[in-house]
Structure 1
């Protein structure tokens, strides 16, 4: 089984990678006999953009139950009403989840454990890209890193043992897919030598909007590099999926001023449709099996991680990030949870 870690680091410049990924690759859709009948899925941020479209596609595969996990119950309710109109046989529920709050993440995971008899699929789609520095009011961490990495990793960690028990039906492991980005391959990651590492993102004087976003996604690649030592593909298949640049999403909802909004609109015309972008997530969930465990999928196929991760320096940083992350999440016993996954 060859995964991202086993591939040779890409030596192709990011410009060519971006062009090929954005314009030359063709979607790979689920086969005609693919069915999710009887299965339950959670999609975070499913009320809009790629999350909404991914939920539609999963429901189109006869998904039996969908949990729409959103910050705004009102907006989630509107999306759920649309889903019910198109798929009246499916059970659709709206649950509150604020990815900027550790308390909300914990409450959501507890609800999953207490209220769902089975859970087969989790798509962690919710994310942000702040144009200006913003500190999370609860933790003090920079908000992009907080949502895209720390809270996402917390939720994944809390859900893994639940997925192991409630998702392994008929011998088939549960699925956990985290939305990633090809931009991880272009991350400059200038604070890679910082020790401590996570705190180095919290300095507003060193904030770089684009690179903080790229690096926040790269941190998840580093976490997954280590996670596979604790989680077996026989229990839960965990992978990362890149949708490429897509139009019609709310990732750049913080854009201000006519010039910035105009640039976003112009570049958006070059983006994939949400349907094509979201197909990358569905592909990672239904078209790829155990061979995708611990992998980064881009353009509907397994792709190497950023070249930095394969270097000696990169492996040192991976270890530092892993330990800092477990320390950050010690309040839920993250280390013990992951150790328990080995049993």
Structure 2
């Protein structure tokens, strides 16, 4: 199989070449209408809004039996779950608390998964942030985008892998997808030579609101590159999928003034709709199989 590691690195400029192709030339690959997810159990982090909510809605439309929305705010999660339950009365839709800024919350969540679920087929790690100002997480001292998009997501992945391996049906690997971003390809990573590396992200002088998001997603590529040396596709298929630049999500909720107006205008001109954006998630965990293990998926295709 030819994976992301096997492909020659892309030397095309991100803007406009890669961005234009990804946003306007890539062909959506929705699940076949005959897809039947009955009996399967899926966890989606950040499933109460944006792409997470849309992916939840789409999965349920294919007769998904059991969906767990892993969210920081239980009240917002329950509000989202109520909408989904009204549309899909036969599905078991639960809301479980998960605060991605807290290691204790991540541990408690994975213990609950281990103890309360007899089956687990798919995990979609959608939760993430895009910070416009430097802030640290009080409990860890790490800059928030690096904490949530990289450190906590990697930690949660590592804890969930043995659970997916043991709770997926015999002979069928579980699937774990991490939400990525094509912008990882444009990361400048200015502190890449710092030693030690991780503490350098906690220095406000290294913070750039645009590149920090890009670099946090690049670090996840690096994590995946090494992870597949230890995890077999026969046990769990792990990939990173880029939903594209999608309009109408909460990712830019912290933007203010001209930046917020600019994001809205740019989204209206170039943004992908949420239906197509979320379909990249379903493609990664249902359409794609072992051939996508350790791969970066962009435009519904394996990308270097």
Q: Does the alignment reach a TM-score above 0.5?
A: yes
1:168-190, Cα deviation, whole Å (9 max, x unpaired):
x1411000000000000000011
Q: 1:261 offset after TM fit, Å?
A: 1.8
* Structure 2 unaligned spans of 5+: none
Which residue number corresponds to residue 11 of structure 1? 11
1:278-334, Cα deviation, whole Å (9 max, x unpaired):
000100011110000000000001000xxxxxxxxxxxxxxxxxxxxxxxxxxxxxx
Retained in 1: the 8 A contact 2:44–2:126? Answer: yes
CA gap 1:170/1:33 in 2 versus in 1, 3 angstroms: farther
Q: In the alignment, is residue 198 of structure 1 matched against residue 198 of structure 2?
A: yes
The correspondence of residues 1-343 of structure 1 with structure 2, limited to 5 A, is 1-15=1-15, 16-167=17-168, 169-257=169-257, 259-269=258-268, 270-304=270-304
Which residue number corresponds to residue 337 of structure 1? none
- Report the Cα distance in structure 2 between the residues aligned to 1:272 and 1:32, rounded to whole angstroms: 22
Q: 1:164 offset after TM fit, Å?
A: 0.5
Taking structure 2 as the reference length, what is the TM-score of the superposition? 0.98
Retained in 1: the 8 A contact 2:190–2:206? Answer: no
- Report the Cα distance in structure 2 between the residues aligned to 1:222 and 1:206, rounded to whole angstroms: 20
Q: 1:199 offset after TM fit, Å?
A: 0.8
Which segment drifts farther, 264-273 or 85-94? 264-273
Which residue number corresponds to residue 338 of structure 1? none
SS in 2 for 1:20: helix
Which segment drifts farther, 126-135 or 202-211? 202-211
- Report the Cα distance in structure 2 between the residues aligned to 1:27 and 1:213, rounded to whole angstroms: 25
1:195-250, Cα deviation, whole Å (9 max, x unpaired):
11111111112210111100000001001001001100000000000011001111
- Report the Cα distance in structure 1 between the residues aligned to 2:101 and 2:271, rounded to whole angstroms: 27
- Report the Cα distance in structure 1 between the residues aligned to 2:254 and 2:6, rounded to whole angstroms: 38
Structure 1 ranges of 4+ moved more than 6 A: none
Taking structure 1 as the reference length, what is the TM-score of the superposition? 0.87
SS in 2 for 1:213: helix
1:242-282, Cα deviation, whole Å (9 max, x unpaired):
0110011111111123x122112111212111111000010
* Structure 1 unaligned spans of 5+: 305-343
- Report the Cα distance in structure 1 between the residues aligned to 2:37 and 2:200, rounded to whole angstroms: 43
1:66-91, Cα deviation, whole Å (9 max, x unpaired):
00100000000011001111111100
Q: 1:23 offset after TM fit, Å?
A: 1.1
- Report the Cα distance in structure 2 between the residues aligned to 1:124 and 1:256, rounded to whole angstroms: 27
1:108-165, Cα deviation, whole Å (9 max, x unpaired):
0010001111110000000001000001111111000000000001111100000000
In the comparison of the two structures, how many residue pairs are matched? 302
- Report the Cα distance in structure 1 between the residues aligned to 2:221 and 2:124, rounded to whole angstroms: 16
Retained in 1: the 8 A contact 2:60–2:91? Answer: yes
Root-mean-square deviation over aligned CA pairs: 0.8
- Report the Cα distance in structure 1 between the residues aligned to 2:210 and 2:243, rounded to whole angstroms: 17
SS in 2 for 1:248: coil
- Report the Cα distance in structure 1 between the residues aligned to 2:208 and 2:231, rounded to whole angstroms: 34
- Report the Cα distance in structure 1 between the residues aligned to 2:286 and 2:12, rounded to whole angstroms: 29
